[in-house]
Amino acid sequence: MEKKDGFLIRFYAVLKYEVLWHLRKKKVLGIMILAFGLATLSLALPVVLGNMYNRPIEPDPDRITSISMFSGELWYFLLAIILGMNSISGEFESGTIIPLLTKPISRTLVFLSKMASTLLIMIGTYIFLFTYLTLGNILLYGPQNNLHLISLQLIGNILSTLVWVSIVFAIGSVTKSSQMAALGSFGIWLGLNLIVGIYALFTGDTWFLTYFPGGGQTGYLKVEGSPIPTAGPQIKTGTGSIAENLVTLALNPSAIVNFIRFEIGGGEGIKILEVYTETLSYVVSRSFIVAIVYVFLFSFIAWYALKRAQISD
């Protein structure tokens, strides 16, 4: 047999190995069922509520751009956990890492294939979901405007999920334990959501939320001519809010975001003060960059740990 260099053949083989790992472990099926259930709920809930209160739903051509179709920190986090928790550590735990890494392929190639296959499955999940939700919404609310903006939502959702995937990968690769990957990520998620949130509540400081993985700081779209800083819709600044913000930005490219502070006391009850403003395009770019920095940082940690790992049993 002729020995070939064949980088593409090798890459394809490792990628297929990884994709089969995802598919055959019935994980993907689980994710699809979960996603399908949640999506169905989001479609059915307004109908059910409408029926209950005798307010049938009306046609709404902007429905798809006014809701963020499938987002939310909890979802990103869950999807990332399911996709990533045993991608690296699972191979250590089952021992299959030994025959794999003793093939003439670099650990970097193995790592990249794991990332790529996870990304592929994730994109597949989102495309399935978005198709279902788009069709469902068209069926319920009539023809929709701006259908092309769905692609922006897709990009945003992928990036937001990828932040958590890279965190799960990093913990899994460092600890070589799927349980640690899941629990550790959950700890980070919970910590960010609770502790940081509580801290922010007590001190009033929230600007730093923008720089942690998660929803981020809350602001309000400025409504031209209104003296009330909270008149417009809420905007979140974090890595988990990229999808909605991208769509909002595409619809209002010059939008401005107000950031406010509550002041309590002085006999006047709660006062809302505008502290500062930022353009929405700045907010979106920043969350994009923050997300990408996290993806690279945690992916680097995961890669480095795999690269350096001593594999004994």
Regarding 25 and contact with other proteins (CB under 8 A), the answer is yes
Tokens of 22: 């995802």
Regarding 96 and contact with other proteins (CB under 8 A), the answer is yes
- Residue 97: C-alpha distances to residues 9, 18, 40 (Å): 20, 12, 39
Pattern of binders to other proteins over 293-312, x per CB under 8 A? -----------------xxx
Smallest gap, in angstroms, from Cβ of residue 14 to other proteins?
6
Applying CB under 8 A, which of residues 40, 106, 179, 285 lies at the interface with other proteins? 106
Applying CB under 8 A, which of residues 14, 167, 171, 290 lies at the interface with other proteins? 14
**Inter-residue contact 292 to 159 (CB < 8 Å):** yes
Regarding 54 and contact with other proteins (CB under 8 A), the answer is no
Site for other proteins in 246-285 (CB under 8 A): none
| Stretch in the footprint of other proteins (CB under 8 A) among 17-25, 133-141, 192-200, 213-221 | 17-25
How many other CB atoms sit within 10 Å of the CB of residue 266?
Answer: 8
Tokens of 246: 């991208």
Q: The sheet that has 270-279: what strands, in order across it?
A: 234-236, 218-221, 256-264, 270-279
Which amino acid is it at 157?
N
Instruction: Indicate the residue among 96 and 179 with the shorter CB distance to other proteins.
Output: 96
Applying CB under 8 A, which of residues 57, 105, 119, 297 lies at the interface with other proteins? 105
Which of 46, 120, 39, 110 lies closest to 83 in space, CA to CA? 120
- Residue 70: C-alpha distances to residues 8, 40, 210, 259 (Å): 35, 11, 21, 26
Residues that bind other proteins (CB under 8 A): 1-7, 9-10, 12-14, 16-17, 20-21, 24-25, 94-96, 98-99, 101-107, 109, 310-312
